[in-house]
Structure 1
Amino acid sequence: MAEKAILFDTSQCSGCKGCQAACKCWNDLPSPTALNADAPSFTGTYQNPPDLSGVTRLVMTFSEEQGGPKGIKWAFGRRSCQHCGDAPCATICPAGAIFVDEATGLVTTDAARCIGCRFCASACPFDVPRYAGDRGVINKCTGCVDRVANGLAPACVTTCQPGALSFGDRDEMVARAEERAAVLRERGYADAVAYGADEVGGLHVIQVLKYGAAAHGQRPDPAVNPAVQLTQVMKPVTGAVTGLTVAGLAAMFALGAGYKRDRRAYNPATGDTLDVDTREVIKHGDGQDTESVKEHILENLPRRKGGDHE
């Protein structure tokens, strides 16, 4: 299967939020009922909820500004996982709870593995993964890989009535986005751009941004947190230290295998050191044990016929 991608064309979006509702339904996620997250009065935006959360994986954003060929820029945006080609969240996750689906390139999750460390949230250049406190796990868009594996498009794409969302092979989605952005520029939208072809290793959510990246809430130049790279530098070091520790413990175990220290007693009257079990004289003289630990271990190890220790 070729790498897949979602295409979002903002010039065709009507802001109906059908995709937002479909995401909730398919993933069995609750919806907040308060107006604009308990705002005391209407804030002037139709966007609700105001941002992603532990129970919200997709939010359609609304931005209304003066300008453009028609005097107003009503820029709809999409706040959700961008499914990075070089996904820093998957790179930094210590439990493998976030990983890249090999068949599609989509960055998906396994909640059963999540340990709630939230490293992924700090690593994401788009501020996407959110902590679901009631469940103690990270929540984000999975790309509906369960649907895709069965020949279906993601839930958000399936429900889009105006055709602003498409799904297919990534190369095709990139080509269509670039073609559409060129058409918009020809029609007077000078800032129109295709977004996602190269950002963070190539995104798997490709967007046609009618008024430019910033107007639609996207970052023109997303940067990965340097801490992600540091963890990768440290992995070989910690791996080497761990290997040496294991090797050392194994060597000590080998030396100690079969070792049983004789019980000894010193007789100050004769100056003899006796074996408590056999009463045989082991040595005569100073009662202090002059042999090293290594010598004691080696003298108790099994011997080969040639006299060498195993």
Structure 2
Amino acid sequence: MSEKAILFDSSKCTACKGCQIACKCWNGLPSPTGLNENVFSGTLQNPPDVNGDTRLIITFNEMEAEEGMSNKSIAWAFGRRSCQHCSDAPCAQVCPGGALVKDEATGFVSVDDSKCIGCQYCSSACPFDVPHYYGAQSKVNKCTGCIDRVENGMAPACVSTCQPGALQFGDRDEMIAIAHKRVEFLKAHGYEKATVYGENEMGGLHVIQVLKYGVEAHGQVEDPKVSPMVGLQQIMKPITAVGTGATVLGLGAMFALAAGYRHKNLAYNEKTGDTIDVDTGEVVKHGDAQDELTVVEHLTENLPKKKGGSHE
């Protein structure tokens, strides 16, 4: 079997979220009953991000329409947020239990949560901040590329349900060729920032994307890099045989590196509708909740608590 890829064409996406529903149905994943946790945040993006129960979301990025871009004052840059299935998959490289494994035939990174020990190394190593956890045992959950379907001659569930043809599935080389042809078409029609994403990033992704308005507008990571913790983890493997002390030191160093590599710590302020960087106070986005915790909860979550649950 040749390497496979999912192709997402943002210029054809209507944000119907059929792919989100198909993913939930096929994988038996629960859904919250409320809209954005019963607080309308000014966005149709729901839930705010992938989480322990949600492997795939369509993102809504509102932008001012440039001249010739649209006959309206605003434009929607719809995005697809899920596992990118990297060729150089750092999550699989750092997983000590073998819960994340790259399938060499397809290129997809599969998940066996029965082997997950809840260390969360994969979450720290991922440049796209994708692996999340569910349940009391903190088991990893993310897109698997529906490898169970692919191995039986079927397309991933999200692709099978896409009515406008924004999602396609096939040999990776073929998907890349289709993406480049589509970008040429878009550029010829005035979308100068249109680009192909995923061809070379992280050794080559197995989710290829046509980004109509450019990488940043669709919420993708510019030039993603492997976290430094991945290299350190590989070095520490033989060293840990020396004894428990070396193991503890190694784990401490890995967490220190991972903490510095994590994405911005964001919080949503319900009163102002702003998403802010907790560390700097910078307003990152207005009207689009990106975090389940409020600013106050973020600032106090690590404080020691008195009896009864209140912070000191």
TM-score normalised per structure 2: 0.74
Any conservation in 1 of the 2:125–2:227 contact (CA below 8 Å)? yes
1:15-58 Cα offsets, whole Å, 9 max, x none, are: 0000000000000000111111232xx22211111011110000
Any conservation in 1 of the 2:118–2:137 contact (CA below 8 Å)? no
Match of residue 103 from structure 2: 101
Any conservation in 2 of the 1:189–1:210 contact (CA below 8 Å)? yes
AA aligned opposite 2:4: K
Which residues in structure 2 correspond to 1:205-284 (within 5 Å)?
Answer: 205-238=207-240, 241=242
| Rg larger in structure | 1
Any conservation in 2 of the 1:73–1:211 contact (CA below 8 Å)? no
Give me the whole-angstrom Cα distance separating, in 2, the residues matched to 1:236 and 1:171. 38
AA aligned opposite 2:151: A
1:202-261 Cα offsets, whole Å, 9 max, x none, are: 00000000000111110111122111111112224445x48xxxxxxxxxxxxxxxxxxx
Q: Give the Å deviation of 1:6.
A: 0.1
Give me the whole-angstrom Cα distance separating, in 2, the residues matched to 1:19 and 1:172. 22
AA aligned opposite 1:157: V
Tell me the number of residue pairs that the alignment of Structure 1 and Structure 2 aligns: 239
TM-score normalised per structure 1: 0.75
Q: Which runs of 5+ in 2 are unaligned?
A: 244-312
Q: Give the Å deviation of 1:148.
A: 0.3
Match of residue 6 from structure 1: 6
Question: Which is further off, 227-236 or 164-173?
Answer: 227-236
Q: Give the Å deviation of 1:177.
A: 0.8
AA aligned opposite 1:182: E
2:43 to 42, 45, 49: 45
Any conservation in 2 of the 1:37–1:48 contact (CA below 8 Å)? no
Local SS of the residue matching 2:115: coil
Q: Give the Å deviation of 1:73.
A: 2.2
Which residues in structure 2 correspond to 1:12-91 (within 5 Å)?
Answer: 12-39=12-39, 42-68=40-66, 69-70=69-70, 71-91=73-93
AA aligned opposite 2:59: T
AA aligned opposite 1:129: P
Any conservation in 2 of the 1:57–1:140 contact (CA below 8 Å)? yes
Q: Give the Å deviation of 1:135.
A: 4.9
Local SS of the residue matching 1:37: helix
Q: Give the Å deviation of 1:134.
A: 3.6
AA aligned opposite 2:216: A
AA aligned opposite 1:32: P
Q: Give the Å deviation of 1:133.
A: 2.7
The alignment yields a C-alpha RMSD, in angstroms, of 1.3
Local SS of the residue matching 2:190: coil
AA aligned opposite 1:65: M
Match of residue 287 from structure 1: none
Match of residue 201 from structure 1: 203
AA aligned opposite 1:126: F
Q: Give the Å deviation of 1:102.
A: 1.9
Local SS of the residue matching 2:38: coil
Q: Does 1:136 align with 2:135?
A: no
Give me the whole-angstrom Cα distance separating, in 2, the residues matched to 1:178 and 1:72. 26
Question: Which is further off, 224-233 or 128-137?
Answer: 128-137
AA aligned opposite 1:36: N
Give % identity. Answer: 64
Any conservation in 2 of the 1:93–1:120 contact (CA below 8 Å)? yes
1:173 to 163, 171, 175: 175
Local SS of the residue matching 1:216: coil
AA aligned opposite 2:46: N
Q: Which runs of 5+ in 1 are unaligned?
A: 243-310
Which residues in structure 2 correspond to 1:118-133 (within 5 Å)?
Answer: 118-133=120-135
Any conservation in 2 of the 1:196–1:204 contact (CA below 8 Å)? yes
Give me the whole-angstrom Cα distance separating, in 2, the residues matched to 1:86 and 1:223. 10
Any conservation in 1 of the 2:85–2:108 contact (CA below 8 Å)? yes
Change (3 A) 1:96 1:29: same
Superposed structure 1 runs of 4+ greater than 4 Å apart: none
Match of residue 150 from structure 2: 148
Give me the whole-angstrom Cα distance separating, in 2, the residues matched to 1:233 and 1:175. 38
AA aligned opposite 1:140: K
